[in-house]
């Protein structure tokens, strides 16, 4: 079943947040107008000041929500492109920028464990056997499939699977509608999945990515389990790039220590972590407030 029939990628910020703020603002406006009859002048002034502050904050959050969408200058697209730029795969054709994993791309990058440069060589050798066959890439927790679409545009020969997990702000039908609207309906397949236990064999994908897919999954509280499940479906020598609130200790604990242990346990060839993505130049100052994108990091490397 398809969505509205029109392309709609929505926004990283839930619409429910704006609705709640609007409701609070309306209640305060009504209270301010009625307060002169109920309270003395001092109380009325206090209520009026609170109402103005809430109104300003509500307008700010609406602007932030619009900027966090997938419009022409939307941060959703920019974060998706940034995540894709960390996949150690070479774009084939198209106008996509050259893939790089340099320190200048992601601020302070921390390599977890010893470097194993041979993995990149193996990947290139394997992919060079048949230049006409592109990689099979999975976008985990694809939301409205913006990242899936950006992956298809960046890697013109790739086949993309968008693993959709239940979300109040989106629907699997809207994901499919978005792909048809982009002319990508034949290259991007959207499938509903429990991303904590996906119906895919071990190592079936050449690359895996997510852009806040772990965070948006409300049903599975163990986010580390989502990360490990995402790595499970990537083949040995395949690539991965995951963007999420990895520096949030309440959710992920000591992420650097955990990644070091994970690298050894899952025998990951190459693993890097870059924190504080929200401080990068492409993130506007409007969206650097602590309650928006703080603690965003990216985990990337070669399986």
Q: pLDDT per position in the chain (303 positions), as tens?
A: 445 568 899 998 888 888 898 898 888 888 877 876 777 778 888 888 888 998 999 999 999 999 999 887 789 999 999 999 999 876 654 333 343 343 434 444 455 543 434 444 444 444 444 556 789 999 999 999 999 999 999 999 999 999 999 888 889 999 999 999 999 999 999 999 999 999 999 999 999 999 999 999 988 999 999 999 999 999 999 999 999 999 999 999 999 999 999 999 999 999 999 999 999 999 998 898 888 999 999 999 999
What pLDDT is attached to residue 170?
Answer: 87
What pLDDT is attached to residue 91?
Answer: 63
What pLDDT is attached to residue 232?
Answer: 98
Predicted model pTM: 0.82
Sign for the CA dihedral angle at 179, 184, 185, 190 comes to: negative
> Can you say whether residue 211 is alpha, beta or left, with left for phi > 0 and alpha for psi between -120 and 50 degrees?
beta
What pLDDT is attached to residue 97?
Answer: 36
Strand order of the β-sheet with 136-140 is 110-111, 270-274, 297-302, 234-244, 205-211, 136-140, 159-164, 188-192
Q: Indicate the pairing of strand 270-274 with strand 136-140.
A: unpaired
Determine phi and psi for 166, rounding to 5 degrees: -50, 130
Task: Compute the distance between CA of residue 123 and CA of residue 289 in angstroms, rounded to an integer.
Answer: 39
Neighbour count for residue 294 (Cβ, 10 Å): 14
Task: Compute the distance between CA of residue 215 and CA of residue 56 in angstroms, rounded to an integer.
Answer: 28
Task: Compute the distance between CA of residue 162 and CA of residue 139 in angstroms, rounded to an integer.
Answer: 5
Helix 172-181 and helix 146-154: axis angle, to 10°?
30
Sign for the CA dihedral angle at 22, 27, 30, 35 comes to: negative
Determine phi and psi for 151, rounding to 5 degrees: -65, -40
What pLDDT is attached to residue 51?
Answer: 87
Sign for the CA dihedral angle at 253, 259, 261, 265 comes to: positive
Q: What is the CATH number of domain 75-302?
A: 3.40.50.150
Task: Compute the distance between CA of residue 72 and CA of residue 84 in angstroms, rounded to an integer.
Answer: 18
């Amino acid at each position: 079943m398809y969505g509205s029939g029109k392309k709609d990628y929505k926004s990283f910020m839930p619409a429910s947040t704006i609705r709640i703020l609007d409701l609070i603002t309306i209640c305060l406006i009504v209270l301010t107008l009625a307060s002169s009859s109920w309270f003395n002048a001092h109380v009325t002034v206090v209520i009026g000041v609170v109402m103005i502050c809430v109104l300003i904050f509500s307008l700010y959050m609406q602007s932030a929500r619009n900027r966090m969408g997938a419009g022409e200058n939307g941060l959703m697209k920019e974060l998706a492109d940034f995540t894709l730029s960390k996949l150690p795969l070479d774009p084939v054709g198209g106008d996509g920028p050259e893939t790089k994993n340099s320190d200048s791309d992601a601020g302070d990058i921390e390599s977890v464990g010893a470097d194993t440069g041979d993995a990149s060589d193996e990947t290139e050798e394997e992919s060079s056997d048949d230049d006409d066959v592109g990689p099979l890439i999975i976008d985990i927790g694809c939301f409205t499939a913006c990242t899936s679409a950006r992956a298809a545009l960046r890697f013109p020969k790739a086949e993309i699977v968008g693993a959709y997990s239940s979300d109040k702000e989106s629907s699997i039908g809207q994901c499919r509608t978005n792909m048809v609207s982009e002319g990508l309906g034949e290259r991007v397949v959207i499938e509903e999945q429990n991303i904590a236990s996906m119906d895919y064999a071990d190592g079936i994908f050449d690359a895996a990515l997510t852009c806040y897919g772990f965070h948006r999954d409300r049903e599975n509280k163990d986010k580390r389990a989502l990360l490990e499940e995402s790595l499970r479906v990537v083949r040995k020598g395949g690539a991965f790039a995951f963007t999420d609130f990895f520096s949030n200790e309440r959710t992920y604990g000591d992420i650097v220590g955990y990644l070091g242990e994970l690298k050894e346990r899952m025998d990951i060839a190459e693993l890097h972590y870059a924190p504080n993505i929200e401080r990068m130049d492409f993130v506007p100052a409007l969206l650097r407030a602590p309650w928006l994108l703080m603690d965003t990091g990216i985990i990337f490397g070669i399986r």
